[in-house]
Amino acid sequence: MQLSVDEVILTFHATDAHGLPINDLTLGEIKLFDKGIASHRIVAFDSLIGRPVRAGILLDTSESMQQTLPESKSIAERYAQRLFRQKSDQAFIMDFGYSSEIAQSFTSDPLLLSHGIRNIKSGKMNPLGGTAIFDTIFRACFYGFGKVDPTATGNFILLFSDGVDNSSHMSLEETLGACQRSNTVIYAFGVAPDSGHYSTGPKLLADLASKTGGRVFPADDTEDAIWSDLRTIESEMRNQYRVVYNPANLRHDGSFHEIELQPPDRVGRIEVRSGYYAPMH
């Protein structure tokens, strides 16, 4: 799909009160507000069932993650082995600390993904110490998802981290902008900080997830709970609605546009990003 610069693409997932996907919504049942104003024109509205996905698996290998990296790798490998569809999906792997690298470029082979995950080592990306989460996500969105049609697949990042960023050059706003332009959702498996120690990590992960339409899950949960979380991600990314619309008063000034999506009463929960940054040209 060719998008004009003044068109916004929005994807969302809807479930009922029991957590089951709702796949029969109509355009007439939802109300869409951009900066509090109803959209000027709806260009397209589609229900996407069994959608192919593109995933970026981002593993924090900094010093603070040394003890929990094996659990993170185990969760990532479960996704690659059990939920990844070789015929339709693609994924890449990045490991990061102070710097980042592509450990496995985009592939449709789950065996290559598993091999790449197993080969990731703690501390490799930490020549100077520190963690640059924003820089890593920006790079994943800009150089990974940014090269593909943002309307063709469900794009998401599977982030494994404690959320502590102390080395990035990019800001939260710049990072979210890259996610929004590539229509990429962030799901994080967060590692809880040590008890008795205050950390900004949980809030950072919550901001990244909520503002892109994703969620944060605990990485130290039971195997059954983690499998349920992975299945939730699977359902939300494969069963989506896509709306393409023209905002009523879009100015090319880089300002943030808050999006409000009002579903009908039969929708119990809706997952959608909080907004987007207007283009600058």
Q: What is the DSSP string of 141-193?
A: IIIIGGGS-TTTSEEEEEEEE-----S-SS-HHHHHHHHHHTTEEEEEEEPPP
List the strands of the sheet with 240-246, edge to edge. 41-48, 240-246, 8-15, 269-272
Considering the chain, what is the average pLDDT of its residues? Answer: 92
14 vs 241: CA distance, rounded Å: 8
Residue 249 phi, psi (nearest 5): -140, 60
Q: At 4, is the pLDDT very low, low, confident or very high (cuts 50, 70, 90)?
A: low
The pLDDT assigned to 61 comes to: 95
Using pLDDT thresholds of 50, 70 and 90, give the confidence band for residue 217.
Answer: very high
pLDDT at 167: 94
Of the candidates 261, 263, 78, which has an alpha carbon nearest to the alpha carbon of residue 275? 261
Q: Which pLDDT does position 151 carry in this prediction? A: 76
Helix (H/G/I), strand (E/B), else coil: 228? helix
Ranges in the chain annotated CATH 3.40.50.410: 53-237
**Tokens (6 digits) for 125:** 């990306």
User: Looking up tokens 């967060």, which residue turns up?
Assistant: 190
What is the C-alpha separation between 158 and 215, in angstroms, rounded? 10
pLDDT at position 3 is 55
Name the pLDDT band for 196 (thresholds 50, 70, 90). low
Q: What homologous superfamily does CATH list for 53-237?
A: von Willebrand factor, type A domain (3.40.50.410)
pLDDT at 182 over 60: yes
Cβ atoms of 160 and 59 closer than 8 Å: yes
pLDDT of amino acid 123? 82
The amino acid present at 101, given as its one-letter code, is E
Report whether pLDDT(2) > 60.
no
pLDDT band for position 149 (cuts 50, 70, 90): confident
Rounded distance between C-alpha atoms, residue 230 and residue 189, angstroms: 10
User: What are 67-93's pLDDT values in tens digits?
Assistant: 999 999 999 999 999 999 999 999 999
The alpha helices in the chain, defined as continuous H runs, are 69-82, 110-118, 133-139, 172-181, 201-212, 223-238
- Indicate the SS3 state at residue 33: strand
How high is the pLDDT of residue 165? 95
Q: Give per-residue pLDDT as tens, 113-126.
A: 999 999 999 988 77
Q: What is the pLDDT of residue 266?
A: 96
Pick from 148, 154, 157: nearest CA to 50: 154
Both structure tokens of 199: 């950390």
| Residue the block writes with tokens 């619309």 | 245
pLDDT value of residue 254 = 82
Rounded percentage of the chain residues whose pLDDT exceeds 70: 97
